Amino acid sequence: MRRLLFVMVLATACGGAQKDQETLTESIRAYNDGIRWARFEVAASQLPPKQRGAFVDEMDERADNLKITDYEIVKVDTRGPKEARVQIKVSWYLDDVGTLRETHAVQTWERQGKQWLMVDESRVRGDEMPGLTEPVGDTAAAPAVPGAADAPPVPAAN
């Protein structure tokens, strides 16, 4: 009887951890797919509520020139049950320039209640991308992309 109880508790604990990972993965995909396909309300649902309205407005404005062609989730690094850092690779171009660019970024995700929210995103390497925050203290930034400085940044969570 004791062994059966132990197995049931262990199975429940493992199932909960797997469910949390699936939820994180679903949230990461919902946000990045939303950005990729210009479904900004869907992407915004993965941000803290106070940032959502401004995010949608800024992304709608930026989408006139910035085109995301693809993204790839490179690595998901969970840091305990309530935080994760996600590396992504984004392929994109500016419509008025036409040159395909590639940018690697890191996203910080936090579990707030039952939902995972993306609370920060910044460039790690590759081309500077309109709206993507530059890492603090980065002195070896990639060459500027024409038109990138004109785009308002994606709001960072505080």
Give a yes or no: residue 157 inside a domain.
no
Give a yes or no: residue 140 inside a domain.
yes
101-112/115-126 β-pairing: antiparallel
Residue 54: count other Cβ atoms within 10 Å of its Cβ. Answer: 14
Give a yes or no: residue 156 inside a domain.
no
CATH, residue 130:
3.10.450.50
Determine contact, residues 85/74, Cβ cutoff 8 Å: no
Per-residue HEC secondary structure of 59-127 comes to HHHHCCCEEEEEEEEEEEEECCCCEEEEEEEEEEEECCCCCCEEEEEEEEEEEECCEEEEEEEEEEEEC
In this prediction the pTM is 0.74
Give a yes or no: residue 76 inside a domain.
yes
Total structural domains in the chain?
1
Going residue by residue through the chain, which has 158 residues, state the pLDDT in tens, using 9 for 90 and above.
555 444 444 444 444 555 556 699 999 999 999 999 999 999 999 999 999 999 999 999 999 999 999 999 999 999 999 999 999 999 999 999 999 999 999 999 999 999 999 999 999 999 999 999 998 764 444 444 444 444 444 444 44
Give a yes or no: residue 91 inside a domain.
yes
**Domain that residue 17 falls in:** 2-150
Name the token pair of 30: 């919902």
